[in-house]
Amino acid sequence: EETCLFPFEDFDKNKLEEFLETNNILIYIHTHMNESSNISKYLGKRIRVLEDDKIDDIMGILNVFNILITDYSSIYIDFLLLKRPIIFLPYDKEKYLSKRGFNFDYDKVTPGHKPETMNEFMGVLDEIFAGRDLYKEDRELVNDIFNEISYPCSKEICMNVKGILEIK
């Protein structure tokens, strides 16, 4: 079953392209390799694809993006470290829950807008680019859970490496 990148009943590619152009926004799409066949219908002047053959590791370029838009991908856990807004598009949440399930309560660990229409989606982008970040504190809390940093890190890492190498 194909991934729905913009899961809105009112989706209008031309309207979205016009909105993106007016607001000087580019959207870059990166899917899992087995889900890339249906993305061409979404592409345009302001909606582009990040091709696997040009990017070794998406993690290496996350820091260049102002916002992450995702569905269920765990990439958002790493993006939390950047302290930037995230928009979630859980287009088939109930089906996903019944087939694969979640390790956590999805709504409690996904700190960001979840627009259900294209107009809401564009409104959320407007809000974020205007500097209104309603989920900043929630992201910090979730980041503290998933990306816990313990101190002193260097000492702990050295101890673990020595333990693995059995160095005294």
Tens digits of residue pLDDT in 96-131: 667 776 777 778 889 999 999 999 999 999 999 999
For residue 63, pLDDT beyond 80? yes
Q: Give the H/E segment covering residue 68.
A: strand 68-70
CA–CA distance, 12 with 163 (Å, rounded to integer): 57
Mean pLDDT of the chain: 85
Task: Identify the band that residue 42 occupies on the pLDDT scale cut at 50, 70 and 90.
Answer: confident
Cβ atoms 139, 83 nearer than 8 A: yes
Model confidence at 51, pLDDT cuts 50, 70, 90, reads: confident
- Higher-confidence position of 11 and 94: 11
Mean pLDDT of 12-31: 95
The pLDDT value recorded for residue 20 is 98
For residue 45, give the DSSP letter. S
Q: What pLDDT score was predicted for residue 27?
A: 95
CATH class of the structural domain 13-165: alpha beta
Which pTM was predicted? Answer: 0.81
d(CA 82, CA 62): 9
Give the C-alpha distances (Å, rounded to integers) separating 124 from 68, 87, 120, 121, 131: 12, 8, 6, 5, 11
The residue-averaged pLDDT of 79-97 equals 86
Own/partner pairs for 52-59, CB < 8 Å, 24+ apart? 55/30, 58/30
- Name the band, by pLDDT with cuts 50, 70 and 90, for residue 155: confident
- The mean pLDDT of 128-135, rounded to a whole number, is 96
